[in-house]
Each structure stands twice: as structure tokens, then as C-alpha cells.
């Protein structure tokens, strides 16, 4: 089973990029991005401040999202 980050990078690697990049080829990344937003909103609703979310969960997820996007861009640029 893949993590959302692995799924997103694997999806773009297995896409036929000779045709085009589409929203379908980035759907796993979009799901990861939605997860980060949802967790941020849930933490904000509880505390009113995502900075105080337990174990800095939002920052952790944002880091994973940002690393995944960097990996996707790196793959596309090669």
C-alpha cells in the first residue's frame, strides 16, 4: 500500500507524458493537497490556530505535500 505522497509521484511517473499533463494525471496529488487543507481546517476549527495543532500535524503534512510537488516537478523536468 502506498502513502498519498508515493501514489502521487508514482501516478505522474506512470502517466503518458508524451500526450499531456492533465488533472487526471495529478489526481493523487490533488487528493494529498485536499487532505492537507482538510486537516488544517479541522485543527483551525478546534483551536482557532493551526500552529497549535497537536504534534504540528499541519506543518508535517504541508512538508510532505511540498516535497511531493518538488519530486513531481523534478521528474517532469528530466
Check pLDDT > 80 for residue 70.
Answer: yes
CB crowding 18-55: b at 16 or more within 10 Å, else e:
eeeeeeebbebbeebbeebeebbeebeeeeeebeebee
pTM: 0.74
pLDDT recorded at residue 42? 84
Check pLDDT > 60 for residue 68.
Answer: yes
Of residues 73 and 19, more confidently modeled = 73
Domain extent listing, the chain: 32-78
Which tens digits make up the pLDDT trace of 6-51? 888 888 887 766 656 777 778 889 999 999 999 888 887 776 655 6
Amino acid at each position: 500500500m502506498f502513502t498519498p505522497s508515493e501514489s502521487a509521484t508514482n501516478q505522474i511517473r506512470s502517466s503518458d507524458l508524451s500526450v499531456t499533463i492533465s488533472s487526471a494525471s495529478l489526481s493523487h496529488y490533488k487528493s494529498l493537497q485536499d487532505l492537507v487543507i482538510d486537516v488544517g481546517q479541522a485543527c483551525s476549527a478546534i483551536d482557532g490556530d493551526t500552529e497549535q495543532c497537536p504534534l504540528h500535524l499541519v506543518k508535517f503534512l504541508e512538508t510532505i505535500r511540498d516535497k511531493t510537488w518538488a519530486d513531481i516537478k523534478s521528474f517532469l523536468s528530466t
